[in-house]
């Protein structure tokens, strides 16, 4: 029997919880990403558990073990169990009754096979008991060994159940390091055929998947395949893979929002929905690429890392060289004047004077002293 191992499997809270469910006659397994990542030799962050126990039993079991239970998704059979510093996402075996491409109506099941049949990819339908013994009802282990991503059952059916699975297909290929060659051709063809269905998926869900994809190492060939399949244009318009590729070749950073700015440097719109902080970074980088602002000034106004990445996007777009020599020093500069140094001015006149002297100080390479700046006023 194939086994999986790792420190995550020894998690005391998870072991106690699974043992308690088993003692009461229920099936209980680790499932999904933790099992998949362990088999791939990747880090395990989240512990998901699938069980034949119903949610009320899960809550009672948590209480008996002095663990906290949070009904995070009771309508779908999910209870978050917290204890001993661990967070367990516990979901009752389910089967789909009806789907509309965004939401599913589910019924609880006593069958692991039912639960596996409704999952997205075979590599995510791998289960391990608390001893690490593997259950593989769909053939996911073969996909892991071949470094392939295949849908459970018919690709078209799985996608129509939730069109976000189109983006997840490509995200996993990049994130797990499989690359475009790791995507099952039948899956890629189904994604291309059904990409119109992404209009049914919320912008927030698409954004989350794209940012995970953009944080990956195996990136360009996956985006190439997305573009070829017509999927990328459904998510973001005006994407420029050559600029992003040059940015990466120049040593650009791993921040997904910066990579997004490089990818969309020609785009007139930003169809994804970023947080305020993310949107600000995106706008700074993309605006800088087309401006004549100096990188040292940007470092002073933001930080050295933002300036470095923005400068590399500009070079990727326009060519030339990237001089990074003084960015750290520029980021550490502090304007020597304050409002107290200009007591004779107030209101708009004071603000204009501070802006004017700050511009002169930046233009001097931050060399003008406080006295020299005051002399200009």
pLDDT in tens, 263-289: 999 987 788 999 999 999 999 999 999
Mean pLDDT (the chain, rounded): 94
User: Does residue 328 share a domain with residue 251?
Assistant: yes
The angle subtended at Cα 292 by Cα 288 and Cα 296, nearest 5°, is 70
Q: Which of 210, 182, 186, 212 is nearest to 198 (CA)?
A: 210
Residues whose CB is less than 8 angstroms from the CB of residue 224 and which lie 6 or more positions away in sequence, other chains included: 180, 241
The domain in which residue 295 lies consists of 236-333
pTM of the model: 0.90
Q: Are residues 14 and 138 in the same domain?
A: yes
Question: Which pLDDT tens digit goes with each residue over 182-193?
Answer: 999 999 999 999
Q: Are residues 166 and 279 in the same domain?
A: no
pLDDT in tens, 45-69: 999 999 999 999 999 999 999 999 9
292: tokens are 């004549």
The answer on 121 and 31 residing in a single domain is yes
pLDDT at 273: 96
- In angstroms, the CA 4 to CA 132 distance is 5
Number of domains in the chain: 4
Q: Are residues 123 and 22 located together in one domain of the fold?
A: yes
Residues 177 and 270 in one domain: no
Phi, psi of 368 (to 5 degrees): -65, 135
Same domain, 136 and 5: yes
Question: Residue 103 pLDDT more than 90?
Answer: no
| Closest to 230 measured CA to CA, from 205, 187, 194 | 194
CA distances from 32 to 56, 215, 370 (A): 23, 21, 61
120 and 63 in a single domain? The answer is: yes
Same domain, 344 and 329: no
SS3 265: coil
Q: What is the pLDDT of residue 106?
A: 76
Do residues 4 and 132 both lie within one domain? yes
Kindly state whether residues 319 and 342 are assigned to the same domain: no
Q: What is the pLDDT of residue 150?
A: 98
Looking at residue 100, its pLDDT comes to 56
- Which of 101, 118, 146 is the last residue in one of the domains? 146
């Amino acid at each position: 029997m194939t086994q999986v191992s790792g420190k995550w499997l020894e998690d005391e809270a998870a072991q106690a919880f699974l043992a308690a469910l088993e003692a009461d006659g229920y099936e209980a397994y680790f499932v999904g990403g933790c099992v998949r990542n362990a088999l791939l030799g990747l880090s395990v962050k989240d512990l998901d558990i699938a069980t034949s126990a119903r949610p009320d039993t899960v809550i009672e079991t948590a209480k008996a073990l002095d663990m906290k239970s949070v009904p995070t998704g009771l309508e779908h059979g999910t209870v978050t169990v917290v204890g001993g510093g661990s967070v367990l996402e516990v979901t009752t075996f389910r089967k789909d009754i009806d789907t509309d491409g965004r939401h599913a109506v589910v019924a609880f099941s006593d069958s692991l096979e039912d639960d596996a049949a409704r999952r997205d990819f075979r590599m995510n339908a791998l289960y391990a008991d608390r001893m690490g013994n593997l259950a593989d009802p769909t053939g996911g282990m073969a996909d892991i060994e071949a470094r392939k991503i295949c849908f459970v059952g018919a690709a078209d059916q799985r996608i129509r159940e939730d069109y976000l699975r189109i983006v997840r297909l490509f995200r996993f290929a990049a994130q797990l390091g499989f690359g475009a060659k790791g995507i099952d051709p039948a899956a890629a063809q189904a994604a291309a055929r059904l990409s119109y269905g992404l209009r049914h998926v919320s912008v927030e869900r698409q954004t989350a998947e794209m940012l995970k994809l953009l944080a990956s190492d195996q990136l360009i060939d996956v985006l190439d395949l997305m573009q070829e399949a017509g999927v990328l244009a459904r998510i973001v318009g005006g994407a420029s893979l050559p600029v992003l590729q040059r940015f990466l070749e120049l040593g650009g950073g791993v921040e997904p929002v910066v990579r997004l700015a490089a990818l969309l440097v020609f785009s007139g719109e930003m169809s994804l929905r970023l947080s305020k902080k993310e949107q600000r970074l995106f706008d700074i980088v993309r605006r800088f690429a087309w401006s004549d602002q100096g990188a040292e000034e940007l470092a002073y106004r933001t930080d050295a890392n933002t300036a470095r990445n923005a400068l590399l996007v500009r070079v990727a777009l326009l060519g030339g060289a990237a001089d990074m020599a003084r960015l750290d020093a520029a980021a550490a500069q502090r304007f020597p004047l304050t409002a107290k140094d200009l007591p004779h001015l107030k209101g708009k006149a004071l603000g204009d004077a501070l802006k004017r002297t700050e511009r002169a100080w930046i233009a001097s390479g931050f060399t003008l002293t406080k006295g020299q700046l005051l002399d200009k006023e």
